[in-house]
Chain A
Amino acid sequence: MFGHLKAEDFINLIESAELPAKHRSHIETCAECRSTWESMRSVHAEVEALETDVPEPDWVQFRSSIRDELFSRSIQRQTAVRRWTGWAIRPAFAWALSIVLAVGLTTAGLLWRTEPPPQPSTPTSEPAGPEEASLDFIDAGPQPSLFDGIVALGDEERERFLAMLEAEQKEAPDQK
């Protein structure tokens, strides 16, 4: 049959005392909808009767337990924050830590700067002087130096070159 009531119509009918004329005339003529409406109205009343059965707790205690829990959580949060930002709350500790870090970093920097350069891969006949080390540190470029030239000589050439240097050095005091 056409024109049966919809879910929303039943709810409106159950909950309002006044029935719209259109719905009233349908309910009067449709046994199916009338039966549904009456049984639903009865169930609705049964649900309403359950209302009184909700047991009440002790509200003062209920409130108090919530207040305590909120307070406890607040303390836990503050403790956690202090743990992470403790150095800001304890200035003496913060200052000490800053000084130790500053001294430590400065010392490490200085040590690193004065560290000797790595040994050349080809061994030299004479140890490198302090000037050589400092020059190497400052100018790490690929330009060849005089000492590189000596290292590159053959054994015979090097012997001759050194003998020549010695002869030059012996003559020099005589000239003075």
Chain B
Amino acid sequence: MTLGNSDADAELVERYLAGDMTAFDELMIRYERQIYRVCYRFVENREDAMDLAQEVFIKAFEHLGTFRRESSLKTWLYRIAMNHCINHVKKNVREFVEVTETTGRVDASVHSQIEDREQREHFRRLVKQLPPKQKAILEMRINDQLSYEEIAKMSGRSVSTIKASVFFALDKLRKLVKDPSLKKAGS
């Protein structure tokens, strides 16, 4: 008989609180990648995302005793991550600085790869212009394939609001793709 995710999480939490350090590793393996990805969505930088994810896990493990199981552990962790990242972004509002550096000549075989990469980088820059929360919701839905219900629980919003948020994000991107002269989404 296999345990459901929630039951397995509950058992791991109990074991961790009872001082079993192997439960720590198991919980980390289950959620480290997902939480790191959420953080990465906000900061688009490996080191900053690692720092944020580390702070999220420290906060979560230090308050694991207060986890009341009204939601799943996954939702609880995501919620901590989202709040932490939103606060981080609010504190560290900074303009995106584009740094491009090309040196030497490139042969034809890698040229098309570079073009593809450049197109992708261009699109990524457009995505970065979205408001951080909207961008995170869009990527959690499309890239992390979280359900609207899950995102709604994590962010404390309704499913309709989350769907509208995804729509507005896609709509802004669509307009930016058509008219790249628009400096900021929503402006």
Residues of A within 8 A of B (CB): 7-8, 10-11, 14, 36, 39-40, 42-44, 46-51, 53-57, 59, 62-63, 65-67, 69-70, 73
Binds A, one of B75-83, B88-96, B106-114, B120-128: B120-128
> Could you tell me the distance between the alpha carbons of A47 and B137 in the complex, rounded to whole angstroms?
12
Q: Are B25 and A48 in contact (CB under 8 A)?
A: no
Q: Which residues of B contact A46 (CB under 8 A)?
A: 123, 173
B40's nearest neighbour on chain A, judged by CB, is A54
Contact B32 A40 (CB under 8 A): no
Decide if B160 is an interface residue (CB 8 Å cutoff): yes
Interface residues on B, range: 35 or more
20 further interface pairs, Cβ-Cβ under 8 Å (given A36-B174, A62-B36): A8-B164, A8-B167, A11-B163, A14-B170, A36-B171, A39-B177, A43-B177, A47-B139, A47-B142, A47-B170, A49-B120, A50-B127, A53-B124, A55-B40, A62-B53, A63-B32, A66-B57, A69-B54, A69-B58, A73-B58
Residues of B within 8 A of A (CB): 21, 24-25, 28-29, 32-33, 36-37, 40, 46, 49-50, 53-54, 57-58, 61-62, 120, 123-124, 127, 138-139, 142-143, 160, 163-164, 166-168, 170-171, 173-174, 177-178
